[in-house]
Amino acid sequence: MKILVFIKQVADTEARILIKSDKKSLEIENKYNMNFFDEFAVEEAVSIKEKTEGTWVAVCTYGSKRAIEALRTAIAMGADQAFLLDNTNLDSDDPLITAKILAGFARQEGFDFILCGRQAIDDESSNIGVMTAEFLGIPHVNSVMKLDIVNGNRALAESEIEGGRETIEVQLPALFTTQKGLNEPRVPLITGVMKAMKADIPLIDPCSTGLIRETIDTGAARINVLYYETPQGRPAVRIIEGASPEEKVKGLIAVLKEEAKVL
């Protein structure tokens, strides 16, 4: 059985981000990690591999060479192989393009099912997984919190839906996006770390998977960032003073009523 995992390397939540003077590009502090929700995808793939003989886990990402580090982390956790789909000269803000590229690779590589995080914490768009499933013509299940593979050809997934949970049986091939709670991502054993350090990670030109360059280059993007800005700051906090808790609370209610007008 072959499991494909898509991951994204994202800036650390603590990384400092500055808007460059042209307002059209960003300077991001060099602190990157594997996307939080993708960890659950890698962990699930490796857990399934450990329980099921003959399972192969391949991880890929569409990004720059910097993302190789995130791929190594996936190998350290137990993935068998990793691939970098090189975005040099192709980078755009259009999720359709990313999804087409991932689908192109998945088609070429072959898979029984695909796992990826439910959203990236840098843009919180939650598009890529579902879009890739559409391009591959396979079913998807979002926000999976439990996954059982039955007989290598179908899956029982428990997913988060509006106001509850749904248990769904899906025929493979399919794509599942992973939600927190699915599992506990492991801290890699040092044997995994050593293996990851030595791993050979090929760089793949997205066009080599059969995609036509004009459909995936920057010119094909149908979303354009006009400019960036920093969010409107709030003025410094106003501490409500008082001689007693009662006084403080009364003072707070007063400003919330009169000033902020939220009561």
Q: How many residues does the chain have?
A: 263
Which residue lies nearer to another protein by CB, 36 or 56?
36
Q: How far is the CB of 212 from another protein (least distance, A)?
A: 14
List the structure tokens of 213.
Answer: 């360059």
Q: How far is the CB of 99 from another protein (least distance, A)?
A: 6
Phi/psi class of residue 54: alpha, beta or left (left: φ > 0; alpha: ψ in -120 to 50)?
Answer: left
Q: How far is the CB of 223 from another protein (least distance, A)?
A: 5
Which residue lies nearer to another protein by CB, 20 or 53?
20
Which residue lies nearer to another protein by CB, 30 or 89?
30
Residues 75, 196 contacting (CB under 8 angstroms)? yes
**Nearest Cα to Cα of residue 144 among 154, 129, 159:** 159
Beta bridge partners of 85: 62, 204
Which residue lies nearer to another protein by CB, 54 or 90?
90
Q: How far is the CB of 234 from another protein (least distance, A)?
A: 6
- Please report, to the nearest 10 degrees, the dihedral formed by the alpha carbons of residues 86, 89, 92, 97 taken in order: -50
